[in-house]
Amino acid sequence: MHSPVGSYEPLGDAGSAAVSRYLVFIVEDEEDIARLISHNLQAAGFEVRSFVSGGSVVSEALREMPSLFLLDVMLPGADGFDICRQIRQTPALSSTPIIFLTAKTAEADRVKGLELGGDDYITKPFSPRELVARVRSVLRGLRQAPVMPEALRLGDLEIDASSMTVKAQGRAVLTTVREFRLLEYLAIHRGRVLTRDQLLDAVWKETPFVTPRSIDVYVRRLREKIEIDPRHPRYLKTLRGIGYRFEVPK
């Protein structure tokens, strides 16, 4: 599908030495936009692979294990949301960050992207400099030193910061990077009421697309993964009009 290229600014290679050759999979059917993204990411020190459709993305990702996916939403055949579903349902790729690229600006589309497990959402036209900054911001979450020195066991929930893994009722739970960071932060500060703004500052920082409503989406996704009955959560409690609190069930 065609979308306006708009006014893009070039990005030099400043700061490229700080990037550790991350591999980014770009799924974008607009040749000019794909070339622009590839050029700027490579100039910033990233390795890239480009795809014009999602047909072979998951199988190729299982061979090369990218650090991040950039998915255009409006693609021929399976759209970016469909590809996101496939990635999140593939255990080896389920925690790989995903950034959506799209001309769609409606809040409903952003929420849908979050609900499917997206980590960021960039609308077209965009500045390549901003795109590179957002890619770095998402990947920075992978490099952050764990706050907890060892696995934290709370009730029948186990959160291991060293391996970024979660177990609930003895079963492994697949989470995205942002979901893990949110759960980790709430668990570390268990018993405290945390406002949505506090959670945004702690977990998202430089990601401007995330809103208080986005926090609600992430909490709902976590409840579906860790709670026995998401409608009556034992761990992630809502303080109506304020925020959330992590409690350890007795």
Distances (CA, A) of 111 to 18, 45, 103, 121, 222: 32, 31, 15, 10, 15
Contact 117, 88 (CB under 8 A): yes
**DSSP code, position 43:** H
Please report which helix (H) or strand (E) contains residue 39, including its range.
helix 31-43
pLDDT of residue 150: 67
Dihedral sign computed on CA atoms, order 224, 54, 203, 104: negative
Q: Which domains does the chain have, with CATH numbers?
A: 16-143 (3.40.50.2300), 152-246 (1.10.10.10)
d(CA 236, CA 101): 31
**DSSP code, position 19:** S
Strand partners, 49: 25
pLDDT of residue 208: 60
Return averaged pLDDT per consecutive 10 residues of the chain, 250 residues in all: 39 43 92 94 94 91 93 90 92 89 78 82 88 88 54 91 88 88 92 89 71 85 95 94 91
d(CA 116, CA 110): 10
Residue 136, CB half-sphere, CA atoms under 13 Å: how many?
Answer: 19
